[in-house]
Amino acid sequence: MTLRIEQFPVLNDNYGYLVRDEATGKVACIDTPDADAIAAALDRLGWSLDLILNTHWHPDHAGGNAALQARYGAVIYGPPEVTKIAPLDHPVGAGDTVDLGETRFTVMDVGGHTLQHIAYHDAADAVAFVGDSIFTLGCGRMFEGDPVQMWGGLSRIAALPDQTKLYCAHEYTASNARFALSVDDSPALKARAEAIFAARERGEWTVPTTVGEEKATNPFLRAPKLAERLGLAGQPDPEVFLAVRRAKDNFKG
């Protein structure tokens, strides 16, 4: 099983993803931030579109469903919440599987940014498409869920094998790194932040990241280790996570 992944910037700071199961030639897009940009990428690659896999209902993730389905007849999978704004053929949730040719995605519940946010994990290729649940050195804003739910989702991502590549939906990393340095001074974070600032200066992407890199440096995954520094020693992990999330919401820099 081999999954070919095509990544391209769309809108202000989103990434679009087209994936092709090399054994069968079946193609899916992960979320539909911009139907025209995705169609242009399909044209450039000479691909059609079989499946649309939505991570959550936000317009920069499901807004292109209708146009892409009309153009290609693609079948749409996603959490039930997608129907708030877009067509959906197959509602899926935790533990469900979605097959793209010979590639199998297992659906993970990573709710919190939205209540039904899901991720798509392809264990054979060690990749996961995580939408706005986790970002390189960051995580999504907690718009709908509570800290227990969101911490649960982040913990499930952290429990994947270290080499798993995480394909996040936004390039927010430079600002995430500035915030991370304000709450954590680990040598691993400092070194990574330097590398990230340099990469962004060169216009390079900092997505995908890996589970191992995020466990070592992401201040949200590291919340339990930052508890003492934040004056929250002994507090439950979701409460410490919430404190880091609130600090980021209020961070100016």
Residue type, 204: E
By the rule CB under 5 A, 50 interacts with Fe ion: no
DSSP label at 152?
A: H
By the rule CB under 5 A, 31 interacts with Zn ion: no
| Residue number, 58 or 192, with CB nearest to Zn ion | 58
Chain centroid, CA 37 distance in Å = 19
Residues that bind Fe ion (rule: CB under 5 A) add up to a total of 2
CB of 181 to Fe ion, least distance (A): 24
Contact characters 58-87, Zn ion, x per CB under 5 A = x-----------------------------
Tokens of 245: 């999330």
| Residue number, 12 or 250, with CB nearest to Fe ion | 12
By the rule CB under 5 A, 132 interacts with Fe ion: yes
Question: Which secondary-structure segment (H or E) carries 197?
Answer: helix 187-201
Tokens of 242: 């919430």
DSSP label at 32?
A: -
CB of 11 to Fe ion, least distance (A): 9
Compute, in degrees rounded to 10, the torsion defined by CA atoms 55, 217, 157, 150: -70
Residue 216, C-beta contacts closer than 8 angstroms, at least 6 positions apart = 186, 188, 189, 192
Residue type, 170: H
By the rule CB under 5 A, 31 interacts with Fe ion: no
| Residue number, 72 or 135, with CB nearest to Fe ion | 135
26 binds, among Zn ion, Fe ion, none (CB under 5 to 8 A by kind): none
Question: Which chain residues interact with Zn ion by CB under 5 A?
Answer: 58, 132
Catalytic residue numbers read: 56, 58, 60-61, 113, 132, 170
